[in-house]
Structure 1
């Protein structure tokens, strides 16, 4: 009986060790330092559904797949389970999906949200810059969002999560998503580990060199990088849409 118990305990310890390694391999996230991601927005329909990025005091950019007829935008949020006194909840005035959005291929997966009133810019709420040029392979990016990692339950984490990732080559992206990746999508992952599972909410920002280069388009693809809308391809569309509205 004693030998059986020892073997059972050894098996449990081995399982926990393997699970811990796997969990670390998939998650690789950490609590974002307070006020370190002042541009991130939580899109709500009574609860959090997607993320977005504040690009001016009155405009947020997100993924077209996050479209809802009624959305409320929450800015300055870090902990969804606490009253922090920093959150601005603003209704939306207009939502503009890219006219070429394809839900099957995720091409043109981008939309703009005009806030009903401008956000108050402060230490907790600040816009992020649009890209001045397209990113190159190996560029460091900060991914942020409230998405719960794979196989860890259905609830979102209460604190904003960050991950450190890198832009991958077009060839690596096409190999990871044959027949799915387009010129309007980029792959961002961990070049040292080779994958990038569940790295943020749909619509969440990938900010590289201080500029918004990616909008989370597809997450939770195990052993694959994340697919992101390539924002540099849409800078003119964004600027024209804002000017027209």
Structure 2
């Protein structure tokens, strides 16, 4: 541990880029093993605050028409209530579970104000400044179990990361996402700054 960062080994993990159907090899996939995982030092498992992690790959992915970079927002840049964003993932279609979709799925959801998300009718004060809520007043469309870590894209930038919720598609409980703009400075410092000393090769 250095500079308050926790560094984790991930020998069993494989990072895949350029995938669409998880049960079929399409020839567009690229694979890389992680060198190290860096969890944010303020991450709280009980509250899900600062629910964000960086992965340093052993080798870079090759950018092409199937694999491209996802721009991030500037530090502290917010998204207005009602702004429609897109979330993607291979998670369950409903809380009841069933079979996990093999094809990447996506849905658009509007941003919900922190005030409404924190109301007594909803999450009752459990939404921190490091979180974004998104969902419809009528429910029905949402990220779900298995989508955690997926991107919430607004204006072609990753403003959120699927974090937690109460059920899936519940009208009273929008999906909760880590607010990426709150961590942009930490991301840049970790990637480009002295915190790289945290990334120690392992066998």
Give the TM-score category using the shorter length. Answer: 0.7 to 0.9
Higher helix share: 1
**5+ long unaligned stretches in structure 2:** 1-7, 197-203
Whole-Å separation in 1 of the counterparts to 2:97 and 2:167: 16
TM-score normalised to the size of structure 2?
A: 0.81
Please give the residue correspondences for 1:95-174 in structure 2 after superposition, counting only pairs within 5 Å.
Answer: 95-132=37-74, 133-151=77-95, 153-174=97-118
- State whether residues 143 and 162 of structure 2, in contact with CA within 8 Å, keep that contact through their aligned partners in structure 1: no
Compare 134-143 and 99-108 and name the one that shifted more: 134-143
**5+ long unaligned stretches in structure 1:** 1-66
- State whether residues 206 and 214 of structure 1, in contact with CA within 8 Å, keep that contact through their aligned partners in structure 2: yes
- State whether residues 198 and 221 of structure 1, in contact with CA within 8 Å, keep that contact through their aligned partners in structure 2: no
- State whether residues 146 and 156 of structure 1, in contact with CA within 8 Å, keep that contact through their aligned partners in structure 2: yes
Whichever of the two has the greater Rg, that structure is: 1
Q: CA RMSD in A?
A: 1.8
Match of 2:151 among 202, 205, 224: 205
Q: Give per-residue Cα distances to partners, 1:29-76, cap 9 Å, x unaligned.
A: xxxxxxxxxxxxxxxxxxxxxxxxxxxxxxxxxxxxxx8733210000
What is the number of residues matched between the two proteins?
Answer: 178
Whole-Å separation in 2 of the counterparts to 1:95 and 1:130: 19
Aligned to 1:40: none
- State whether residues 151 and 162 of structure 2, in contact with CA within 8 Å, keep that contact through their aligned partners in structure 1: yes
Whole-Å separation in 1 of the counterparts to 2:132 and 2:97: 28
Please give the residue correspondences for 1:224-243 in structure 2 after superposition, counting only pairs within 5 Å.
Answer: 224-243=173-192
TM-score normalised to the size of structure 1?
A: 0.68
- State whether residues 87 and 108 of structure 2, in contact with CA within 8 Å, keep that contact through their aligned partners in structure 1: yes
- State whether residues 87 and 143 of structure 2, in contact with CA within 8 Å, keep that contact through their aligned partners in structure 1: no
* Alpha-carbon offset, residue 228 of structure 1: 0.3
